[in-house]
Structure 1
Amino acid sequence: MAGLIKTALSLEHGQLPPSLHYESPNPQIDFGGRFRVNAGLTDWPSNGTPRRAGVSSFGIGGTNAHVVLEEAPAAEPSGPPSRPWQLLTLSARTPEALDQTTVRLGDHLWGHPGLELADVAFTLHTGRKGFEHRRMLVSSDLEDAASALAACDPERILDGRAESSGRLVSFLFPGLGDHYEGMGSGLYRSEPGFRERVDRCAEILRGELGLDLREVLYKEDEEPAATDRGPDLRRMLGRRQARELDRPSLAHAAIFVTEYALAGLLRDCGIEPAAMIGYSLGELTAACLAGVLTLEDALRLVVRRAKLAESLPVGAMLAVPLPEEELAPLLGDRLSLAAVNGPSLCVASGPVEAVEELETRLAGRGVVTRRLSASRGFHSREMEPLFEPLRELVSGFELRPPSIPYISTVTGTWITSAQATDPDYWANHLCRTVRFAEGVGELLRQPSPILLEVGPGHALGSFALQHPESGPGRTVLSSLRHSYECQPDQAVLLRSLGQLWLAGAEIDWAGFHAGERRRRMPLPTYPFQRERYWIEAAPAQPPGRP
């Protein structure tokens, strides 16, 4: 065994060690000029062919063995990193071991400044088992990662405890309101899976929109730099000029395409939705992913129902912090209850004059309301003229029962196959109240749920966190930044993937690194917490007196 190990090391390093204690050959041995004993450490030339060596073992019982070793082929060099940001994952069986793992990795990175951070991340993903106590960091370069690990900055380094693996994830798809030009542009540049899906949708939509959606969606192609800090207050307060993406047909198409591409990217990484819920327009994304609608039919429905809405008079929508039973008597004949987002959070919708009147009445009572960025009174009786044209459109689709369970926000519970395949359901969809609070309550009642918002912002996650069913054991995350958040898109997505891993969701690291040429490298191994179990002898007792 010692000879086998020595030979393997010689092949690895390309050197021949000396034979111990050898000085000169026995004069009785005739080497014939073909053999020699190595007296010192020498280089082992390859002469253009792989190095080979034989190892013999002669057993005292008469068993002889011989094995021929050949050097391993040269390791293929890593390719350039495809991502500007990297996700580092650490885990251990105990908190103490996790702390030691963090320190040892930080020291290793400081001591090896030539390492490729993408290869470090790849090794941590594919060469380390995921234990219960977990830690993650998103970083853009080796020095930054080493500094963050050394400082253990709680704003950069997140901890979690995966008490059970394989936790189920539910996707939440937002509707109109938090969209913005440039949403997902960082992912479009750096993630091939996201870009391919956006490109496919944009080509399908050329005939429906009469333009290339990418030229509108990515008109603002600059995402926040890594050095940006704090939110964009102008955007947070909603102070912006009207833009082309405010047109319902373009806005609806952009939201659907972004959500569809982002969901596909997450699925490439092994994050498969066990259930879904979509807010208004977001339900079309859920239906498409569940196989109810083909991608082509879903895109056609998204754009044509938005264009039909554009033909209606201008309307408005108002967020009101009141329970449904208190708001309903105030709506009168012209306004409708558009959405119930929480126990005390509803949306009224209808003509602009009626919304303004309700806004004034509530302000007189001291109720602070907020006008939503919608140019029509969606989910109100104002949408009823669209029923027949939408029914005629959907009747031409081949609707299928859902392959993934999802919540209907029309009923607030699980959609049935009969509803999903009924054209009347989809024709009525834009006229009915969005019962998101009831629907997300169904998801929160699942065992140890993880709710992931798949789309711009984190409004749905906020509603879920305020829900009475929310509490310990429930995880709510977002995956794409809000317009006012100054963070790169990919850093936000990697942070979300890291948080999913912290919570116990399974990540398909092979899918995550698909298309990359990465290599595993030597990194610090597990810091075992050694304990002494030796039974100590009892101290000797002095002999008693006679």
Structure 2
Amino acid sequence: MSFENEYEDNKADIAIIALSIRLPGIDTVSKFWETILNGEEVVADLSSQEVKENAMEARSDFIRTNNNIGEIENFDAAFFNFSTREASMMDPQHRLLLETAWEALEAAGYNPESYDGLIGMYAGVYANYYQMFNLLPCIKGNGAASELQMQIASEKDHAATMAAYKLGLTGPVLNVQSACSSSLAAVHLACESLLTYSSDMMVCGGATLGIPQTHGYYYQDNGLLSTDGHLRAFDAKATGTLYSDGAGCVVLKRFNDALKDGDTIHAVIKGSALNNDGALRAGYTAPAVKGQIQVIERAQMAAGVNAEDISYIEAHGTGTPLGDAIELEALHEVFAPHTGKSAFCALGSVKSNVGHTGPAAGIVGLIKTVIALREKTLPPSIHTDTPHDRLMTGLSPFYLNPIQLDWSSPNQRRLAGVSSFGLGGTNVHVILQEAPVQPPAPSSKRIKLFVLSAKSAESLYMQKQSLQQFLKSASGEQLADAAYTLQTGRRLFEHRAVWLYRRGMEPEWMDREMGRKAHSNLAMQPLFHFPDLSGFTALDPGDWISEEPAFHTSFIQCMKHAPQKSGRGDSALQDRATYAIAVQVSLFGLWDSWGIQPSGCQGTGVGLFAAASACGLLTVADAMYLGNCFTAALATTGQERSIWVLNYQQRVCRMKTEPMKIPLAVPQGRQPQSYEDWSSSDFWIKYLNDALEDKASLQSSVNNLRDQLVLEMNLHESSDLLVEGDGATVWRNVYRLLGQVWMDGYPVNWKTYYQGERRHRIALPAYPFNKTRCWVECEDSDIAADLPFLPISESVNLRPEQLIGYIAPRTETQRELVAAWELYLGVTPIGIDDNYYELGGNSLLAASLNAHICERFGVTLGLEVFLEQQTVARLAESIESWRFDSTPVKGGH
């Protein structure tokens, strides 16, 4: 039974295939787990200077906690195609959610642009304090377009939908807002979407940011907040909660689909439930025992598990005396009646480590539990020196582990529950099970080809550094899976580089010049060149032949048509010709299987027969026989040559030809102009005669157009390149050429590249964003009054590198338009042929910019004109035209 068939009945299970997280001092999943595993706390203290700068009084009831992510004013606007102005208006929580969603999809190994199914997104964010403290005090004017811009940039409604727009997600997208339970509610709803086939993959998450970033708080006796800046979930000394920045996303997929597609499955969702306390609670903000009991029981029922099967609960655990007491009561009501065992289920809350991250809290707790299941380890519950009274009875099913423990489960798969309860009564509980151990997937490719791409040379360089670090500790299978993930699961950008890597050797950069840019217009396909024997490397057949299945299959078929030995002449040389044609035709088939179609083929000497077969003109049998005779005739003299020439001529006269599928050329002599010329026996007889008269013609160089890539149907660049024992380097030059092809922008069919292998998508270092300041402070700009709505950030983005060559303005009109565009877009320098949309512009900003231009030049330009013209040069022409005839310019001209 196959691995996939073993789990065929798990059709209601949901796989968690990717994780991403951001917390104070934490920007990777591995760093998060390290922090939790070490029992660390991310809470930091404000310095005296920070307290002074924020005009906070250092009273005895002031708590100097600083649970912020930091540097939230910085954002890679150009990467997500925002203008600096637009990004500066945007709620930083939306930006953080967008980044973590991007990182989660990368960790899953999927590029939405190339994924065939529907990817959706459910997520929630916290209140927008950036709008309150930064944007609203800076407003200088009003206008319908600007108001709409503000709404899109600031309102919760647009957090998930803007991310979907920028990521290219076409499945169901909703903003889920249920306060503290928002992100786990998003997970529950996403599971329903997947199980009803409304989507094929779902991104779920949440984000919370406190603004201003450096601030403490004043505690109140019997209030919600901790009296000492520490959160002690389920400890008798707990005095309150502690709010913190945070964001996280997970990617979900139907379990069976994830198995089939080779996804990394971190854990499995067996079931979940969502409800509301309704009027059962004492007040709107108070939790209710009965509501929590019901949601946990229903989740266990949906998962088909008993309370006694569960050995860990990641609780909501806010550290408030009332909230913890109610949650413990609910848990005991669910577990105690169904078991006589005590202290079999560990209890924890990630909030003791990282604080309460509001709408992101559920996803942060889920991620912690997923990793714990994956690593089969229970991380320590910190700040639990004196466990809650309810846990000290000796009969409780639950216990707190103050130290790291191995998560033993001898008789069954590990199961865990995750709770998240929202202010307002929306409760969510999810049942997780550890993922099955997926069987190893060995790779036949001993040399791995890693492809990297980025929007900037700086980001590409940073990718190189992070990949190099990854390679140091990766296993052989991980290397193959990493190469596969980069090839098939990442979005492609202009700046590209390639590594050839084999265990035990230094990675070889395909192009030593970092930042090589792919061609944006692939007008020319590569040219395939089939060399003569003098330029062909003959290698002894070995296991290297089977390393590429498509090549191996073709080579075996070709050799079935090898001519019988005649006993005359140099049989070794004839065998070499036969072998060369088989190798060259098979290499052509290999490139074709990888999706690389040539603009044409060229052949030199015996290589022309291989090229003619590859193009469909000659059969393999005819090509081999003619090539054999051709080689023997050139290597003999006198009567023996005459016999080979006669055999050649007789075969030419009865050979079968078909119209060519690909253009064919010879780099020397007269070029046949039609199929009739190519199929004529006269051409082929003359080809042999010319070669007999001038063997030097076989050394003619390749005819190719300038800048056209030439792929040689050969295994090595030169005949003196040695094979390194095991034959792994036989393919080095082929892979090197494939990397060159990819860097030049030709699409490669990576699925057939891995024919016969089962590869997995794995999490790799995330894309390194190249961030700049995108932030509004009223004091940031002296030009606020000149703008119709908001001041622009002090910093601006440099002109995107992927744009065409910069052309400076030449006329006064062009210079003034460039100045206006740079002001509104926050990009410099702007060339007169730069496209407005590629600079990060949009239709809403266009309305304000167009009004500014009309007022400045005293013209009447319809907005449709602005949107149609799209460049400064064309817009300047419209303005000059208006001035010439004083007629309002409408669209369509």
With the length of structure 2 as denominator, give the TM-score of the two structures: 0.39
* 2:456 aligned residue: 94
Query: Residue 58 of structure 1: CA displacement?
Result: 5.2
| Cα separation, partners in 2 of 1:124 and 1:243, compared to 1, 3 Å | farther
Q: Does 1:483 align with 2:724?
A: no
Q: Does 1:46 align with 2:409?
A: yes
Whole-Å separation in 1 of the counterparts to 2:411 and 2:368: 23
Structure 1 unaligned segments of length 5 or more: list them: 212-241, 315-374, 435-457, 542-546
Q: Is the 8 A contact 2:606 2:631 kept in 1?
A: no
AA at the equivalent of 2:718: H
Whole-Å separation in 1 of the counterparts to 2:557 and 2:597: 21
Q: Does 1:285 align with 2:610?
A: yes
Can you list the C-alpha shifts for 1:124-161, whole angstroms capped at 9, x where unaligned?
A: 3334333222222333325523xx67xx994xx87632
| Cα separation, partners in 2 of 1:267 and 1:82, compared to 1, 3 Å | same
Whole-Å separation in 2 of the counterparts to 1:36 and 1:96: 51
Whole-Å separation in 2 of the counterparts to 1:200 and 1:411: 32
Query: Residue 95 of structure 1: CA displacement?
Result: 1.5
SS at match of 1:404: coil
* 1:254 aligned residue: 579
Q: Does 1:161 align with 2:523?
A: no
| Cα separation, partners in 2 of 1:19 and 1:83, compared to 1, 3 Å | closer
SS at match of 1:492: helix
Whole-Å separation in 1 of the counterparts to 2:416 and 2:663: 60
Whole-Å separation in 1 of the counterparts to 2:366 and 2:474: 33
Whole-Å separation in 2 of the counterparts to 1:158 and 1:496: 17
Q: Is the 8 A contact 1:209 1:303 kept in 2?
A: no
SS at match of 2:451: strand
* 2:650 aligned residue: 389
Q: Is the 8 A contact 1:51 1:71 kept in 2?
A: yes
Query: Residue 122 of structure 1: CA displacement?
Result: 3.5
AA at the equivalent of 2:665: I
Q: Is the 8 A contact 2:667 2:702 kept in 1?
A: no
SS at match of 2:772: coil
Q: Is the 8 A contact 1:87 1:498 kept in 2?
A: yes
Q: Does 1:201 align with 2:558?
A: yes
Query: Residue 32 of structure 1: CA displacement?
Result: 10
Q: Is the 8 A contact 2:497 2:743 kept in 1?
A: yes
SS at match of 2:528: strand
Whole-Å separation in 2 of the counterparts to 1:482 and 1:304: 25
Q: Is the 8 A contact 1:390 1:427 kept in 2?
A: no
Query: Residue 15 of structure 1: CA displacement?
Result: 3.3
Whole-Å separation in 1 of the counterparts to 2:635 and 2:672: 30
* 1:443 aligned residue: none
Query: Residue 73 of structure 1: CA displacement?
Result: 1.4
Q: 657, 661, 665: which one pairs with 1:407?
A: 665
Q: For 1:49-448, list aligned pairs within 5 A.
A: 49-56=412-419, 65-79=428-442, 81-110=443-472, 112=473, 117-142=479-504, 144-145=506-507, 154=512, 160-164=516-520, 168-179=525-536, 181-182=538-539, 187-188=544-545, 190-205=547-562, 208-209=564-565, 244-246=571-573, 249-303=574-628, 313=638, 389-394=650-655, 397=656, 399-407=657-665, 416-422=674-680, 425-426=683-684, 428-431=686-689
Choose 189-198 or 285-294, whichever is displaced more.
189-198
Q: Is the 8 A contact 1:89 1:137 kept in 2?
A: yes
Can you list the C-alpha shifts for 1:353-404, whole angstroms capped at 9, x where unaligned?
A: xxxxxxxxxxxxxxxxxxxxxx979xxxx9986786234422xx3x322222
Q: Does 1:13 align with 2:13?
A: no
| Cα separation, partners in 2 of 1:536 and 1:383, compared to 1, 3 Å | farther
Q: Is the 8 A contact 2:527 2:709 kept in 1?
A: no
Can you list the C-alpha shifts for 1:302-330, whole angstroms capped at 9, x where unaligned?
A: 3356567778738xxxxxxxxxxxxxxxx
Whole-Å separation in 2 of the counterparts to 1:269 and 1:58: 51
Can you list the C-alpha shifts for 1:202-244, whole angstroms capped at 9, x where unaligned?
A: 3332x52369xxxxxxxxxxxxxxxxxxxxxxxxxxxxxx975
| Cα separation, partners in 2 of 1:463 and 1:303, compared to 1, 3 Å | closer
Can you list the C-alpha shifts for 1:44-74, whole angstroms capped at 9, x where unaligned?
A: 3233432233445555566555443222211
Whole-Å separation in 1 of the counterparts to 2:571 and 2:644: 23
Q: For 1:496-507, list aligned pairs within 5 A.
A: 496-507=737-748
Query: Residue 259 of structure 1: CA displacement?
Result: 0.8
AA at the equivalent of 1:500: V
| Cα separation, partners in 2 of 1:431 and 1:107, compared to 1, 3 Å | same
With the length of structure 1 as denominator, give the TM-score of the two structures: 0.60
AA at the equivalent of 1:105: L
Calculate percent identity across the aligned residue pairs. 28
AA at the equivalent of 1:132: E
* 1:511 aligned residue: 752
SS at match of 2:532: coil
| Cα separation, partners in 2 of 1:118 and 1:63, compared to 1, 3 Å | closer
AA at the equivalent of 1:4: L
State the aligned residue count. 403
| Cα separation, partners in 2 of 1:14 and 1:176, compared to 1, 3 Å | closer
What is the aligned-residue RMSD (CA, Å)? 4.4
* 1:526 aligned residue: 767
Q: Is the 8 A contact 2:457 2:515 kept in 1?
A: no
Query: Residue 184 of structure 1: CA displacement?
Result: 7.7
Query: Residue 527 of structure 1: CA displacement?
Result: 1.6
Whole-Å separation in 1 of the counterparts to 2:410 and 2:772: 51
| Cα separation, partners in 2 of 1:408 and 1:58, compared to 1, 3 Å | same
* 2:708 aligned residue: 474
Whole-Å separation in 2 of the counterparts to 1:153 and 1:5: 39
Whole-Å separation in 2 of the counterparts to 1:486 and 1:30: 73
Whole-Å separation in 2 of the counterparts to 1:492 and 1:540: 56
Choose 520-529 or 385-394, whichever is displaced more.
385-394
Can you list the C-alpha shifts for 1:415-460, whole angstroms capped at 9, x where unaligned?
A: 53444555555455434689xxxxxxxxxxxxxxxxxxxxxxx966
Query: Residue 509 of structure 1: CA displacement?
Result: 2.3
SS at match of 2:590: helix
Query: Residue 529 of structure 1: CA displacement?
Result: 0.9
Whole-Å separation in 2 of the counterparts to 1:459 and 1:256: 17
Q: Is the 8 A contact 1:187 1:194 kept in 2?
A: no
SS at match of 2:398: coil
Whole-Å separation in 1 of the counterparts to 2:474 and 2:371: 26
* 2:295 aligned residue: none
Query: Residue 271 of structure 1: CA displacement?
Result: 2.3
SS at match of 2:773: coil
For CA contacts below 8 A with separation 6 or more, give which structure has more relative contact order: 1
Can you list the C-alpha shifts for 1:72-115, whole angstroms capped at 9, x where unaligned?
A: 21133342x533433333322211222222233334444x2766
Whole-Å separation in 2 of the counterparts to 1:294 and 1:516: 31
Whole-Å separation in 2 of the counterparts to 1:12 and 1:165: 45
* 1:4 aligned residue: 366
AA at the equivalent of 1:390: R
Q: Is the 8 A contact 1:171 1:276 kept in 2?
A: yes
